[in-house]
Amino acid sequence: MRLVLEKRAERSTIIALISPLIAIGLTIVTLCILFAILGKNPISALAVYFIDPLTDGYSLQEIAVKATPLVMIAIGLSLCYLANAWNIGAEGQFLIGAVAGSWLAVKTQGTDAGHWVLPAMLALGAIAGALYALIPAICKVRFGASEILTSLMLVYVADLLLDYLVRGPWRDPQGFNFPTTAEFDPVATVPTLIEGGRLHLGSIVALLVVAAGAVLLGRTIKGFEIRVVGAAPRAARFGGFNANQLVLLTFAISGALAGLAGIIEVAGPVGHLQPGISPGYGFTAIIVAFLGRLNPIGILIAGLFLALTFIGGEQAQIAMKIPLDVTKVFQGILLFYVLACDSLILYRFRLISTSPKVQSGAR
Amino acid sequence: MELVEAIILSVLAASTPLLLAATGELVTERSGVLNLGVEGMMIVGAACGFGAAWLSGSIIFGAFCGVVAGILMSLIFALMALGLAVNQVATGLALTILGIGLSGLIGAGFVGERITPAPHLYIPGLTDIPLAGRILFGEDAFVYLSIALVVGVWWFLYRTRAGLILRACGDNHVSAHALGYPVLRIRLYAVMFGGACAGLAGAYLPLAYTPFFIPGMTAGRGWIALALTVFASWRPARLVVGAYLFGAVTILQLHAQGAGIGIPSQFMSSLPYLATIIVLVLLSRARTGGSTAPAALGTVFVPDR
């Protein structure tokens, strides 16, 4: 007897609905085993990871703060992936957006610049992110170079550029030689929503992005073109859709959103530019996009869930001395299970006999 | 003269992990599978290899554990991409994310520890020849192994029947299947070979290149190895040229930083990554009359009965 994969006659709608839940369930089981190996009580570790952050106001705000960049980046990435364009350099576009917006904040520091500074910073971040994302897109469309590799290489370049700026020209003269810019002026800071709280205006922007993504994909011709080009390239050609133009468009949108997320993060929760402003948001957003099934509402839920794992991971490190890397392992395993469960929408397993010929001969 | 010798020696050392990983990936891709998880397999190989060498005191055992770790990682990929017919790009990314987390977890116990790096060959007389002696006869075992591996892979792909079948799977899996070849099993072996090479390449870093382990020490080398297979048009001989070229860029920018030529170090450090992009663009542009990539590269195959 042998287990083989077989194509379903039509996609299974039941599995399509519950596959993210199965994936999360399987990940949690795997996580329990990992906790046991590390010598921690799995039940109390899970409680610290997934329940405790939901029980106090500060952590709830922090989840929204962490989910903001994840959701914004993932909405952009989902457009790329739907169009079968593989932008995996969102981390770099995030950093470049942060750098470009910070330029204005640094230049206007200490001057009596008015309230135009923050909107201008956000615009700069989005434009810079879009332009940075267009580099791999143009290399792909014009020269046929793999956008996967070029977009990823640009992550390292952006990281080094940021490092240079905060250690060199933009370093805070009163910063005791730490690699950071000075704290941004109030006019260059994203306002918080609650007095003295952490929740900031960026979370509202993220919700608007989700709504815009849902309208674009569900209600416009462009959104339809994006989905057709990815799902049925041949049909798209017959339909006269320009695949190259869609690669450029989806890369530009996702770059702009990642850049905007970058400058919001710097001008909001962080408050200044420094290395390490992102705990890998650009890469985690890839998981968010897939866990959310490349659907805007799904991405919103998935973004909140992965933000929960960031907060839970930090609390587990403090409370139970569980290494922070467990969070990354968790995210990697989760993506595996999500992809595996999604495969069962289109395929099913069947047991077959390994030697059918011998059996018929014996009869 | 001494400086030239030192530069060539360090170029060889910097190129070896790229060559090892790229050779493995070349075989994987020639069978039609695109495994983007090279970086993840390498970093886990580095952590396991260093841990084993530090605990046992044996470089060989360390290298062995690096290889095993690489194979285990590649088996996860094979289960997903071959067994469950999942999109290979997404699976490869997941493998890299998982690998970076796992290596941090495994390596946490021995960050900051040091080992005696792999010894260099010494043949009295031969190694003492000025200039060429140390370059040809004074390397560590990994350098010789990497070159032997490329030659072996070339011989396998172009001079054996098994190599021909493997390439057939990569160019047209439907035809290969119709001829009765077990496409998925052949691809499984190719993926495992890629994992073994990536694990060894990762282990090389803490065992021979720098005698300690730091998280994220592969620093994108796995991705550069992936770019090298494109650079080499999926041919082993060109892989050697590409790997040494990239090793040279890495080392020359380090020497330029050391010489203090007034360009910020971060700009010099970004050169290998920028070079990768430029090379990819130039090569993709130079190609006329269709791509040289294996025709079935990255496509899912589910045999029908």
**CATH classification at residue A171:** 1.10.3470
User: What is the rounded average pLDDT of the residues B9-30?
Assistant: 93
Per-residue pLDDT band for A260 (boundaries 50, 70, 90) equals: very high
Distance CA B260, CA B279 (A): 27
Does a structural domain hold residue A30? no
Pick the residue of A329, A334, A348 with the most B CBs within 10 A to test the interface with B by mutation: A329
Per-residue pLDDT band for B121 (boundaries 50, 70, 90) equals: confident
Please determine, for residue A360, whether its predicted confidence score (pLDDT) is greater than 60: no
Residue A190 CB partners (closer than 8 Å, separation 6+)? A118, A200, A201, A202, A264, A267, A268
Does a structural domain hold residue A214? yes
Residues A175/B294, Cβ–Cβ less than 8 Å: no
Please determine, for residue B95, whether its predicted confidence score (pLDDT) is greater than 90: yes
Distance CA B63, CA B28 (A): 21
Q: Considering CB atoms only, which of B219, B266, B276 is closest to A161?
A: B266
- CATH fold of B2-286: ABC transporter involved in vitamin B12 uptake, BtuC (1.10.3470)
State pTM to two decimals.
0.90
Domains of chain B: which residue ranges? 2-286
User: What is the rounded average pLDDT of the residues A154-169?
Assistant: 93
* pLDDT-wise least confident of A119-128, A269-278, A291-300, B251-260: B251-260
A325-346 and A296-320 helices cross at what angle (nearest 10)?
150
How far is the alpha carbon of A193 from chain B, nearest alpha carbon, in Å? 34
Q: Considering CB atoms only, which of A156, A340, A352 is closest to B80?
A: A340
DSSP secondary structure of A54-76: GSSHHHHHHHHHHHHHHHHHHHH
Does a structural domain hold residue A315? yes
Does a structural domain hold residue A234? yes
Does a structural domain hold residue A80? yes
pLDDT tens digits for range A270-325: 999 999 899 889 999 999 999 898 999 999 999 999 999 889 888 888 888 888 88
Structure confidence at residue A324 (pLDDT): 83
Taken in order A299, A305, A275, A104, the sign of the CA dihedral is positive
- Cα A332–B210–B21 angle (5° rounding)? 50
Secondary structure letter of residue A185 according to DSSP: P
Structure confidence at residue B286 (pLDDT): 64
Does a structural domain hold residue A26? no
| A179: containing domain | 63-320
Using a CB–CB cutoff of 8 Å, tell me whether A95 touches chain B: no
| Residues in chain B closer than 8 A to A7 (CB atoms) | 302, 304
Percent over 70 (pLDDT), chain A = 97
User: In DSSP terms, which residues pair with B120 in a beta bridge?
Assistant: B140
Structure confidence at residue A355 (pLDDT): 61
Question: How many domains is chain A partitioned into structurally?
Answer: 1
pLDDT tens digits for range A224-245: 999 988 888 888 888 888 889 9
Q: Considering CB atoms only, which of A6, A326, A346 is closest to B105?
A: A326
